[in-house]
Structure 1
């Protein structure tokens, strides 16, 4: 007979399993909001935005209360960065006006969209008003016009999390009473239900105390920052059904020590813990992270820091997202760190694995900080530092995401003061990109405080590094040396075969013996270098890069001009870059690669000697310069030359070589305007034939960095193609790859140019010096090539051979148009597209006399009347070097 107790137990077990499975499926799915209202104010009918979401008009809508004094109007102008929906129409109020939205009870995201243009011929600066939700003041005497100007934005979005008890959510707009002719306006309103994922449940602690902060149904939150740390921005359509925008964290990092993105396997599975639904944050937030780097001696000497401009007089909820996704961390006490918020200790022993019990599991922590009243703006600091007391395996820290919310004051107020004007000059490292720039909300941050703080941090870090290196070098230093810095370790100590404690010295120079390829390039003594540069005369400096200063010099009795790059011992580039440059360039010879003449490592110096490039860098002739603007043909032929050099690196050498730092400052121009690719310190040998990529730490320059390489740390030759695409946009637009003083949509040239190309308005942002001088067919070909180069995924980008072929063809189109008296693309001042007769052939300033046939027909290629094969490829045949021109698919 069946045992009834056992049967009931079995049924109960199945029910528990089924219930657990259902709960897991519910938690793992994107959230489906009960209320989703997208109101396009003043619009005519239903329209879709760029994400494909449908917006309804408020004209005749049940949401707009009847009888109020309001008008609808289109914006008088549309800036190129401004999406049509929901920004190009608005509703204007001369008196108090209320929208009433029938919704279910619970938490809602309220997003307000503003584009401060002129509506119905009204002065945009007069749009000053307040916005109220029940007893809560969301905005007070708010000027979208002044806010956008000060932040350097084109449009503004405000996001709030509010709780609705009754069946209606009312939002009231009121023009400012103390401002003559003031009015209120709104372009779009979004109402989206969201689960109560930001309630504290007693887990949000006030920083540096054990006191819990209650975030209840009576709390209204304003989102001020939401960042995907170590990764790229995540659009609302890629969120988990809540349509949140996640920005990148680079612009908010303080100082030059920005840490490194954590290497992640894109195929890893993120396992959300029990009770934590997937929609807390997208999986992409937890798949990317930022850590301090692999060097413990460096990590203990600095804080990984971010800073955020906030309104004083408010409390802020700071939510930090964590997930150990790196391959090396899987046990407790491997990575333990401290967390400081506003110079107060939030965590002394943060150990993500101890929180989650295993890797690839997300976790978040909530903290509350308070800014007392005083100056209207305060910087909220977030700092991470290794915990050395617990003696972890790695002295490191990690962070995956940050959300910061302003909490309403006791009187229900959330309105802050007008943001401070954005700084005129951003803090930029010209060789490494932005070191502490500004983005969507960080334009408000004071540049002086950042500069001073960055200087202090840099001095501390430099001091620690110098002490560390000097200590290791103390017993190895040449006692007879009196010249040159002592900070470098001699190159012979890195991999050279010397017995312990000995230093093999040459009889002629007194320097350390070297295994560098002296048979392939010349070895200079330090005395020769000093003579060539007149003892490093500051008046001979050509420029300063990440490696150090570059001097103009003369060798061989003044018969040969050279460029001499002297390494700075305090630079973040050192022995590896020095050795890589020598080993690569001593083996490569090509017309479009800069020639290395020799090197010097005497007296612990690291000095490289190159051919002198009389016309400097390409960037020096594009913007922020007194030089004569380059003609379009000059720019195109320079890019063709650089593409030939890169194509040779990718296909013509014995092994594929990936440059890894292609940018306009690394394209040099000789006295005949011939382009040469330079600076191979970061270059890597490409993958073997049975591999698709090289896994390596991300290096390069912000603005030119391949996003796929950044995400996956998998380097391919297509990473160079992406960077070269940015260069093509630079020669078209004559602006930097990154310009944080511009509105956030325009900061990245690659993203902005792609947006304009998609909208069909790329010709509106080209260099004014080029208007009317580019044939439409040539412009179209170059623009399409550049857009394909900066595709998000490497597989969608052309090979460098394809790029070269397209540029050669574009030059043919340009010359054919000039020969036939064709038309050139031009945008007039009123924004109307027109065509004008092309200018004649280039003047003597162009180097067409030096390039007798710079076009490829697939049959012959020569420069200056000489075969490319004999001069450029070190004896390689044309088919070996330029196979991708004759066969665009390449190898």
Structure 2
């Protein structure tokens, strides 16, 4: 009798178990549904919808305003064609401390602040200088939206933070600076969104080149500074996973002549998130990627590199997203590579298939990098290179997405300095510049190859003049995306060379038509020494496999270049260096002249 009951119950148990598994899978597969979603259109009197069809509520008469503090509302005096109407055409202006108070449940929140530098209430935009705090955290200090917009050529600015709230209210206090005497604060829009705990790690995140990890917990506040869809196009907030994040094309941040190969998954590929929540990143992040390309000898002689301008004096959380979706990479040890951050080893021998345990399954890796210094901008380098030690089938590397977050310092500060107009805000050095993303600035780009007698010292110059620009897109839009926060992209570094298509791979940059050698400009060793101030160590930008890379100036200082000096004692020989020079000298590309 007992056996009979057990036999009858077993199918029911199996059915219940299967239902629970299905429910678990559906929960993982669904987009995140925020329990709190506040979109406050500051200075506005009626409900309005933005370009992503998100509804913004007015702050005039809002319960989020405190009753005792004074402020005024004002429309913007003018509208830049690149600026959406919502939420940027109205603002609330403060001449003294002012606090918004949002009733929330405890937990982690996304806080996004929207700014459009313009004249409000007859005030000069340059006098808007203020700080923003939330509880014990300083989000902005002496912030100038006008100076930031001018220096970086932003149409508008969005600041995104991840803050844990312990109580039942999230407060945001805007405080005009003490100088100048007529300084004021303003804000165009405020977004508060409940979020899952995506970035905390009680076990600690490894710190690059250090032994002890860094714990990211409820006391940690983060500011997102970059979020890239590597190898793909922009993803607007409505295309995210319920968290309304903006993901941007990575091409503006690629460094050097080796742009690699962008790839898109076949339409029949289904991304399986496994135990990872799907709101970690959109499917479109994991179905596009950038790799180094099919040429192993070339790949062995360069790094696939991205550069980012960041504030010094902080630690940064770097999250890298990976997914192998191509037909030819299905097994362990087919594509193995090393990960370097700021010229330091973050991880050796990373194998996406080994980490994910199968194809079409995404994984991510978190690293913390410490950037010393104070009150200045520095460059954060991210580089991938094939791992030769494991002897993989393909000498290649791949990346699908990048997120970079500033971590609050010991004083709970996240505020950096305002960028300085007139200094080229770029990935290498404030004195170097690149073509603007919108194509409005046409600075010269140069690639120079030269040799020195004796065959001991070889020089390769690859110069890129750049101008930092956020996505103003005054002359057209990507039809595949909304015309949402196009001005937020933090510092565009190269011209917009993205080419969308349905083909599985699109080659950009590295593999190009040849250029006759007689069109290359040649330099004497004396000219190279003059350009680098006799190879001044203060001008070293980095160290590669062949030797050091120096910042230099030619043509009377009108053209900024990078000069690679071959070292005969380096791990890679003179012959390989000569091969690199010859290969790059023959390239013909929109960024190589």
Structure-2 separation of matches of 1:192 and 1:756: 21
Shift of 1:213: 1.3
Matched, 1:751 2:464: no
For the Cα contact (< 8 Å) 1:260–1:292, is it kept in 2? yes
**Other-structure match for 2:218:** 217
Matched, 1:241 2:242: yes
Show the counterpart of 1:81. 82
Q: Secondary structure, in 3 states, of the residue corresponding to 1:325?
A: coil
Matches within 5 A, 1:370-409: 370-374=370-374, 376-409=376-409
Distance 1:254 1:436 in 2: 10
For residues 158 and 393 of structure 1, what CA distance do their matches in structure 2 show?
Answer: 43
- For 2:86, what is the secondary structure of its paired residue? helix
Aligned-pair CA distance for 1:754 = 11
Instruction: Specify the alignment match of 1:22 in structure 2.
Output: 23
Deviation at 1:743, TM superposition (A): 4.7
Q: Which residue of structure 1 aligns with residue 364 of structure 2?
A: 364
CA displacement, residues 236-282 of structure 1 (integer Å, 9 cap, x when unaligned): 110000000000100100111110112521331000022x1100000
Note if contact 1:111-1:157 (Cα within 8 Å) is conserved in structure 2.
yes
Larger helix fraction of residues? 1
Partners of 2:28 and 2:287 lie apart in 1 by 19
User: Residues of 2 paired with 1:155 and 1:757: CA distance?
Assistant: 13
Aligned residues of 2:314 and 2:406 also touching (Cα < 8 A):
yes
| Residues in 1 aligned to 2:473 and 2:434: alpha-carbon distance in whole angstroms | 17
The answer as to whether partners of 1:251 and 1:437 remain within 8 angstroms in 2 is no
Q: CA deviation at 1:419?
A: 1.7
With over 3 angstroms needed to count, the CA separation of the structure-2 counterparts of 1:753 and 1:247, relative to structure 1, is closer
CA distance in 1, matches of 2:224, 2:425: 27
| Residues 251, 436 of structure 1: 8 Å contact kept | no
Contact 1:264 1:327 in 2 (8 A): no
Q: Could you report, residue by residue, the CA deviation over 1:496-550 in whole angstroms, capped at 9, with x for unpaired residues?
A: xxxxxxxxxxxxxxxxxxxxxxxxxxxxxxxxxxxxxxxxxxxxxxxxxxxxxxx
* 2:26 maps to 1:4: no
Give the TM-score, by structure 1 length.
0.50
Q: Is the 8 A contact 1:207 1:346 kept in 2?
A: yes
What SS does structure 2 have at the residue aligned with 1:113? strand
SS of residue paired to 1:214: strand
Aligned to 2:463: none
Q: Could you give the per-residue CA deviations for residues 529-575 of structure 1, whole angstroms, max 9, x where no partner exists?
A: xxxxxxxxxxxxxxxxxxxxxxxxxxxxxxxxxxxxxxxxx9xxxxx
Secondary structure of the corresponding residue to residue 68 of structure 2: coil
| CA displacement 1:435-467 (0-9 Å, x = unmatched) | 965659xx9xxx99x98xx87xx889xxx9xx9
Shift of 1:69: 1.3
Deviation at 1:753, TM superposition (A): 11
1:176-575 to structure 2, matched below 5 A, reads 176-202=177-203, 204-274=205-275, 276-374=276-374, 376-421=376-421, 437=435
CA distance in 2 between partners of 1:265 and 1:280 (Å): 22
Q: 1:422 to 1:372 in 2, by over 3 A?
A: same
Residue 151 (structure 1) aligns with: 152
- Shift of residue 385, structure 1, vs aligned partner: 0.3
Q: CA deviation at 1:14?
A: 2.8
The separation in 2 between residues aligned to 1:140 and 1:41, in whole angstroms, is 20
Q: CA deviation at 1:372?
A: 1.1
Deviations 1:783-806 (A, max 9, x none): xxxxxxx99889xxxxxxxxxxxx
Looking at structure 1, the residues matched to 24 and 94 of structure 2 have their Cα atoms a distance apart, in angstroms, of 47
Please say if residues 147 and 421 of structure 2, whose CA atoms lie closer than 8 Å, have aligned partners that are also in contact.
no
Q: Say which structure, 1 or 2, has more relative contact order (CA 8 Å, 6+ apart).
A: 2
Distance 1:425 1:242 in 2: 29
Question: What's the counterpart of residue 160 of structure 1?
Answer: 161
Question: Does the 8 Å contact 2:233/2:500 carry over to 1?
Answer: no
1:52 corresponds in structure 2 to 53
Aligned residue in 1 for 2:549: none
Secondary structure of the 2:339 match is: strand
Q: 2:419·2:425 contact (CA, 8 Å) conserved in 1?
A: no
Go from structure 1 to structure 2 and tell me whether the alpha carbon gap of 1:379 and 1:791 turns closer, same or farther (over 3 Å shift).
Answer: closer
Aligned residue number for residue 612 of structure 1: none
- Local SS of the residue matching 1:202: strand
1:65 matched to which residue of 2? 66
- The 5 A counterparts of 1:860-871 are none
CA 182–425 in structure 1, closer or farther in 2 if over 3 Å, else same: closer
Q: Taking structure 1 as reference, are residues 425 and 17 closer, same or farther at Cα in structure 2, changes over 3 Å only?
A: closer
Q: Deviations over 1:165-194 (max 9, x none)?
A: 111110000100132100000000001111
User: Residues 827-858 of structure 1: CA distance to partner in whole angstroms, max 9, x if unpaired?
Assistant: xxxxxxxxxxxxxxxxxxxxxxxxxxxxxxxx
Instruction: State the Cα distance separating 1:389 from its structure 2 match.
Output: 1.1
Give the distance between the partners of 1:192 and 1:142, measured in 2 at CA: 23
Q: Which residue of 1 aligns with 2:114?
A: 113
| CA drift at 1:202 | 1.9
Find the aligned partners of 1:168 and 1:94 in 2 and give their Cα distance.
Answer: 24
**CA distance in 2: counterparts of 1:284 and 1:131, whole angstroms:** 34
My pick for the range that moved more, 233-242 or 255-264, is 255-264
- Alignment RMSD, CA only? 3.3
- 1:523 corresponds in structure 2 to none
- Pairwise CA distance, 1:67: 1.9
Q: Residue 210 of structure 1: CA displacement?
A: 4.2
Structure 1 match to 2:135: 134
Q: Decide whether aligned partners of structure 1 residues 745 and 267 sit closer, same or farther in structure 2, where only a CA change above 3 A counts.
A: farther
Give, in whole Å, the separation in 2 of the partners of 1:88 and 1:240: 28
Once the two structures are superposed, what CA deviation does each residue of 1:750-806 show, in whole Å capped at 9, x if it has no partner?
A: 428999999xxxxxxxxxxxxxxxxxxxxxxxxxxxxxxx99889xxxxxxxxxxxx
| Cα deviations by residue, 1:556-596 (Å, 9 ceiling, x for unpaired) | xxxxxxxxxxxxxx9xxxxxxxxxxxxxxxxxxxxxxxxxx
Given the superposition, is the C-alpha separation of residues 423 and 268 from structure 1 closer, same or farther in structure 2, using an over 3 Å criterion?
farther
Which segments of 5 or more consecutive residues in structure 2 lack a partner in the other structure?
428-432, 461-465, 485-497, 503-593
Q: TM-score, normalised on structure 2?
A: 0.74
The aligned residue for residue 90 of structure 1 is 91
- CA distance in 1: counterparts of 2:481 and 2:206, whole angstroms: 43
Residues 408/741 of structure 1: CA separation in 2 closer, same or farther (3 Å cut) = closer
Contact 1:226 1:245 (C-alpha < 8 Å) held by counterparts: yes
Q: Deviations over 1:2-42 (max 9, x none)?
A: 53344444443333222221111011001100000000001
Asked if the contact 2:74/2:93 (under 8 Å) is kept, the reply is: yes
Which residue is equivalent to 2:576?
none
SS of corresponding position for 1:73: strand
**CA–CA distance in structure 1, aligned partners of residues 236 and 144 of structure 2:** 26
Structure 1 pair 367–741 and aligned structure 2 pair: CA distance change class (3 A): closer
The match for 1:675 is none
Checking the alignment, whether the CA contact within 8 Å between 2:434 and 2:468 is kept in structure 1 is no
Aligned-pair CA distance for 1:232: 0.5
Measure, in 2, the Cα distance between the counterparts of 1:419 and 1:291: 32
Q: In the alignment, is the contact (CA less than 8 A) between 1:236 and 1:244 conserved in 2?
A: yes
Q: Do the aligned partners of 1:108 and 1:192 also contact (CA within 8 Å) in 2?
A: yes
Q: Distance in 2 between matches of 1:425 and 1:224?
A: 15
Partner Cα separation in structure 2 for residue 115 and residue 323 of structure 1 = 37
